[in-house]
A = this chain, B = another copy of it.
């Protein structure tokens, strides 16, 4: 992963200190909470992550188990189903011009492909995130499609959208990424855009805005944009509608 990518997998002490100093009058310590209060708090924490209220977040220590339950239980799949359903409902409301310029942008990780088997090894908290192991995982091309995203992708193609895949993965991962996307069932994208040399050191939100702007300059109308990070969706040359995929695992600024 590019060095600029900020991945937040912090637990424990950092979080306690942060919460205590940042919101001492509002937030109590996890040890003060009953089980039900912990659930409510962790629900609120996850909402704050998904709405971008939290900004550059770290995971509250008391919510580590909650997060494992989120991924291993039914909620994550349910959330993905509703995101896909919202996206399809919007896509069906668009009347394609038939000129091939009706575009839809997808991110890769945690949007088209799921890296949960990789993060599972780290107890879904990935405090031990290791770039070398990550690159091995990417090269393994073993990531599977999020099934809801594969269904959405196929329907968008049927509806006549031109699909662009815009990822923070580096250009040197092009072959592995292409092989993995094909193995996972994705076909016929117009362009797979990765970070080139000139994109290194750029914040994700800038890099992705620039790349979308290039598409707009080429005459594409970006109707939809699907990504698990707010940096996939905000900035400029924004899509008509943006679809935030759930991701309480990591944050990319």
Q: How many residues of chain A get a CB closer than 8 Å to chain B's CBs?
A: 44
Q: Is A83 an interface residue (CB 8 A)?
A: yes
B47 touches A85 (CB 8 A): no
B79 touches A47 (CB 8 A): yes
Q: Mark A5-48, 1 if CB is under 8 A from B, else 0.
A: 00000000000001100110111000000001100110111011
Given contacts A27-B81, A78-B40, A79-B47, contact A55 B22 (CB under 8 A): no
| Residues in B neighbouring A40, C-beta threshold 8 A | 74-75, 78
| Residues in B neighbouring A242, C-beta threshold 8 A | 52-53
Q: List 14 A-B contacts (CB under 8 A).
A: A18-B89, A22-B85, A22-B92, A23-B85, A23-B89, A26-B85, A27-B85, A43-B79, A47-B47, A48-B86, A52-B242, A53-B242, A53-B244, A55-B86
Given contacts A47-B47, A47-B50, A92-B22, contact A41 B244 (CB under 8 A): no
| Residues in B neighbouring A82, C-beta threshold 8 A | 27, 41, 44-45, 47-48, 53
Q: Mark A64-78, 1 if CB is under 8 A from B, else 0.
A: 000000000011001
Complex CA distance for A246 and B43, rounded to whole angstroms: 12
Q: Is A51 an interface residue (CB 8 A)?
A: yes
Closest 10 A-B residue pairs measured CB to CB? A22-B89, A23-B85, A44-B82, A40-B78, A51-B244, A44-B78, A53-B86, A26-B85, A44-B79, A48-B82
| Residues in B neighbouring A86, C-beta threshold 8 A | 48, 53-55
A53 touches B243 (CB 8 A): yes
Q: Is A90 an interface residue (CB 8 A)?
A: yes
Q: Is A253 an interface residue (CB 8 A)?
A: no
Chain A contact residues, majority secondary structure: helix
Q: Is A88 an interface residue (CB 8 A)?
A: yes
| Residues in B neighbouring A19, C-beta threshold 8 A | 85
A78 touches B26 (CB 8 A): no
Q: Is A84 an interface residue (CB 8 A)?
A: yes
| Residues in B neighbouring A55, C-beta threshold 8 A | 86, 90, 241
Given contacts A54-B86, A75-B43, contact A25 B243 (CB under 8 A): no
Of B74, B84, B246, the residue contacting A47 (CB under 8 A) is B246
